[in-house]
Every structure is written in C-alpha cells, then in structure tokens.
Amino acid sequence: MGNQRTRTIRQEIMDCLKNDSMTIRDLSQAVGIMEKDVCHHLEYIEKTVRALNKRVHVAPYSCLDCGFKFRNRKKFKKPGKCPKCKEGRIAPAFFSIRP
Ligand SMILES: [Zn+2]
C-alpha cells in the first residue's frame, strides 16, 4: 500500500466522522479496510484533528450485561471482556469528529 493510498484512507475516514457518528465496523465497511486497520488510522487521525483544534469524540464501548461504560479508554480497539461482570458482550463505541 503506497503512501498516497494511506493518505486517502485517512481522509475518507475523517470525512465519514465529520458527517456522522460511526463504529469501527461502519468505518471498515465504508472505507473497505480491516477493522484493526481502522483502529490504527484513528490513532493518527486523533493527532491530526487535535492540531486543527478538533477532537475525536467517543461514545464509549459499553457492556450489554451490566451497563459498564469503558470511559477514558486510550485505545480504539474493542475491549475483550467487561472488567465488572466478566461477560463478553460489548456494545460498539461510536466515533465522530467535533470542534
Ligand atoms: Zn458487564
């Protein structure tokens, strides 16, 4: 994958997030890349938008069983298990770019 394509993917992801709140899966399907690559790109995008006085807003992952919310999570990747009830059913986080 060339540098040009990488730049285009990041631009596409940023365009998606400016218009809508999306999950990692949504972005993966919209841009046509793997979910783990979406997480990787989001880390760069977060730095990029911060320089523009914007930020990546996160509606956090939450546990479907007990309602625990994964606030202040540093990574974009979906958590494996709920630390509170130890169940594995996690609702997706929604990401968007806001001023
Ligand atoms: Zn839980």
- Does this model's pTM top 0.85? My answer is yes
Distance 76 CA to ligand 1 centre (A): 19
- The kind and range of the H/E element at 5 are helix 3-19
Distance 64 CA to ligand 1 centre (A): 7
DSSP classification of residue 4: H
Distance 70 CA to ligand 1 centre (A): 10
pLDDT tens, N- to C-terminus, the chain (99 residues): 557 777 799 999 999 999 999 999 999 999 999 999 999 999 999 999 999 999 999 999 999 999 999 998 888 999 999 999 998 899 999 999 998
Which one-letter amino acid corresponds to residue 35? E
Cα dihedral angle (14, 15, 18, 24), rounded to 10 degrees?
-60
DSSP string, 6-51: HHHHHHHHHHHHHH--B-HHHHHHHHTS-HHHHHHHHHHHHHHHHH
Cα dihedral angle (79, 83, 89, 90), rounded to 10 degrees?
-40
Distance 59 CA to ligand 1 centre (A): 17
Domains and CATH numbers, the chain: 9-98 (1.10.10)
